[in-house]
């Protein structure tokens, strides 16, 4: 019976030269293995084919993510005699504002509505924060009075009500102290370092008074200036 001229059938009848190579699952004959530098798919991906997108999860808001990604994607615009790179959302608002300034009534109405809504929302958030700050201070002051009246102690609040500063004239609220346990750790560390630097400055000043002819006087003066600068930096964050 004649052997077929089909090269694939011939490959199946040829035994490898080396007895160390076993043909089987995952081990095709040497003639049929991919050659180094040769693509397993020489024709490539068919035209028009696309990567299949994974369906979003039930709790995933993919459209929101896409919208935010596009809104803050930066683009380059011509402005004056140069170029500026700004987020897409800013470019849209800028275009709207320019058209409004040129007299486009629809743009004027839309820009005014956006501005009014934004300012109203900012004021609402500010008033809520101001009310929460005042309530926080008043509530803890009453708690401290209760503890003092009963002669008891308790955990210190974070932030401490004394660190919540409310400017009655402007309605601004500022926190001049730690607001979380992590910040409290850093705050305590800075307080200790400030006390160490203050003590060292006092000792160095006393050294200059006690020993007017101290041989390293210039170095001591430089150390005093350096430590004083650090103390002032810490005091801007943590007043005495």
Cβ burial, residue 159 (10 Å; 0-12/13-18/19+): buried
**27-36, 98-107, 161-170: range with lowest mean pLDDT:** 27-36
Q: Are 86 and 68 in contact (CB under 8 A)?
A: no
For the chain, percent of residues with pLDDT exceeding 90? 50
* pLDDT tens, position by position, 95-104: 999 999 999 9
- What average pLDDT does the chain have? 83
Quote the Cα angle for 32-37-41, to 5°: 65
Question: Which residues, listed in sequence order, are joined to residue 78 by a DSSP beta bridge?
Answer: 83
Backbone CA torsion sign across 176, 179, 184, 186: negative
Looking at residue 22, its pLDDT comes to 60
pTM over 0.95: no
Tens-place pLDDT, residues 36-54: 666 666 666 666 556 666 7
Query: How far is Cα 23 from Cα 32, in angstroms, rounded to an integer?
Result: 11
Question: With bands split at pLDDT 50, 70 and 90, how would you rate the model's confidence at 138?
Answer: very high
Q: What is the mean pLDDT of residues 104-130?
A: 94
**In terms of pLDDT, which residue wins out, 20 or 165?**
165
Q: Among all chains, which residue has been given the structure tokens 């993919």?
A: 62
């Amino acid at each position: 019976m004649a052997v077929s001229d089909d090269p694939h059938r011939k490959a199946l009848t040829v035994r490898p030269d080396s007895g160390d190579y076993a043909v089987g699952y995952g081990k095709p004959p040497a003639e049929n293995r991919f050659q180094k530098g040769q693509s397993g798919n020489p024709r490539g991906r068919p035209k028009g084919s696309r990567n299949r997108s994974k369906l979003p999860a039930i709790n995933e808001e993919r459209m929101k993510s896409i919208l935010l990604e596009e809104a803050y994607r930066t683009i380059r615009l011509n402005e004056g005699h140069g170029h500026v790179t700004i987020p897409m959302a800013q470019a849209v608002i800028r275009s709207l504002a320019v058209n409004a300034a040129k007299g486009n009534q629809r743009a004027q109405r839309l820009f005014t509505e956006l501005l009014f809504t934004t300012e109203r929302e900012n004021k609402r958030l500010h008033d809520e924060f101001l009310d929460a700050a005042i309530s926080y201070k008043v509530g803890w002051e009453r708690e401290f009075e209760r503890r003092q009246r009963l002669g008891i102690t308790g955990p210190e609040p974070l932030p401490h009500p004394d660190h919540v500063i409310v400017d009655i004239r402007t309605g601004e609220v500022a926190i001049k102290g730690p607001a979380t346990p992590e910040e409290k750790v850093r705050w305590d560390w800075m307080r200790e370092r400030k006390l160490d630097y203050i003590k060292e400055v006092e000792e160095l000043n006393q050294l200059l008074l006690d020993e007017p002819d101290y041989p390293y006087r210039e170095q001591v003066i430089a150390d005093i200036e350096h430590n004083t600068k650090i103390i002032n930096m810490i005091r801007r964050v943590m007043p005495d």
